[in-house]
Amino acid sequence: MTVQARARRPAPVLDLRDVTKVYGTGETAVHALQGVTLTVERGDFVAIMGASGSGKSTLMNIIGCLDAPNAGRYLLDGIDVAGLDERSLAILRNRRIGFVFQSFNLIPRMSAQANVELPLAYGGIKGADRRRRALAALREVGLADRTRHEPNELSGGQQQRVAVARALVTAPALLLADEPTGALDSGSTADVLGVFDRLALAGRTIIVITHEDDVAAHAKRVVRLVDGRIVEDVRRAPVTGPPPNVSWTTEGAR
């Protein structure tokens, strides 16, 4: 790659350098992350795997700007997160990250449409524009015919697809999912994974935290944590989508 091409290359969505996280101090200190370096390019679909206690949630909280590392550097979409105050962080989270949780976290007695509109409402987007964008997101997850349904009128898989639509509606740089199929039966799991596959094909950037091999099998790259360290970083499929003519790397793979 020429120097010029490198200069034009957009910042990675995620750029973590030697990130550490320690809970507590002294003898009882827990070293939850012990120097994690991870770069994720636009259009990648990464599964982060590891046994219970390996540091997945800690890493997710740092990636999601819900917690700060003790040391190391983290750039989200080219922005150094450490320099931001609470208010700027909240805006960054709202605009750049779409969260999906194991438990869906939909608001009961609110239609699918209204649930998906919520992040736009927080972002100050009004009326027809908000409705149009929410409908487009619901269409993207295959739920255009369920917009008026409330969560308790939908299957688990459909509820999680509404949650994915809600995560996508702000056009975030990153879709960040924590055990998104952990509460679903196999049929609904397949349903939600099908949506992730389509989003990945469309060039969305996705990070899924999971301990399930069948979920990770859908990802283009699998990163494995043991005791707060990346011990494996395997690419299974190339990064899709824009920008063209930019090569992907397996930086960190060993």
* Residues lying near ligand ADP in the complex (CB under 6 A): 23-24, 30, 32, 50, 52-58
Cβ proximity to Mg ion, 21 vs 56, nearer residue: 56
Residue 181 CA to residue 150 CA, distance in Å, equals: 20
Cβ proximity to ligand ADP, 191 vs 233, nearer residue: 233
Q: Choose the binding region for Mg ion from 23-31, 51-59, 73-81, 223-231 (rule: CB under 5 A).
A: 51-59
**Separation in Å, CA 148 to CA 104, 108, 111, 115, 137:** 17, 13, 5, 10, 14
Instruction: Work out whether strand 79-80 and strand 71-76 pair parallel, antiparallel, or are unpaired.
Output: antiparallel
Q: Is the peptide bond before 243 cis (omega within 30 degrees of 0)?
A: yes
Shortest Cβ distance from residue 230 to ligand ADP (Å)?
13
Cβ proximity to Mg ion, 57 vs 240, nearer residue: 57
Cβ proximity to Mg ion, 48 vs 165, nearer residue: 48
**Residue 115 interacts with which of Mg ion, ligand ADP, none, CB < 5 to 8 Å by class:** none
> How many residues interact with Mg ion (rule CB under 5 A)?
2
Residue 142 CA to residue 147 CA, distance in Å, equals: 10
Residue 223 CA to residue 233 CA, distance in Å, equals: 4
Shortest Cβ distance from residue 162 to Mg ion (Å)?
23
Shortest Cβ distance from residue 156 to Mg ion (Å)?
20
Cβ proximity to Mg ion, 59 vs 81, nearer residue: 59
Residues 52-91 that bind Mg ion (CB under 5 A): 56-57
Neighbours of 182 (CB within 10 A): 16
**Residue 30 interacts with which of ligand ADP, Mg ion, none, CB < 5 to 8 Å by class:** ligand ADP
Shortest Cβ distance from residue 65 to ligand ADP (Å)?
16
Q: Does 102 help bind Mg ion (rule: CB under 5 A)?
A: no
Cβ proximity to ligand ADP, 151 vs 228, nearer residue: 228
Rg of the Cα trace of the chain? 18
**Residue 54 interacts with which of Mg ion, ligand ADP, none, CB < 5 to 8 Å by class:** ligand ADP
Residue 62 CA to residue 23 CA, distance in Å, equals: 13
Q: At what angle do helices 156-168 and 127-140 cross, to 10 degrees?
A: 130
**Residue 32 interacts with which of ligand ADP, Mg ion, none, CB < 5 to 8 Å by class:** ligand ADP
**Residue 50 interacts with which of Mg ion, ligand ADP, none, CB < 5 to 8 Å by class:** ligand ADP
- Are 174 and 97 in contact by the 8 Å Cβ rule? The answer is yes
Q: Which residue do the tokens 């350098």 mark?
A: 17
Please give the distance of CA 137 from its chain centroid, rounded to a whole number: 16
Q: Choose among 118, 151, 117, 159: nearest CA to 134.
A: 117
Residues that bind Mg ion (CB under 5 A): 56-57
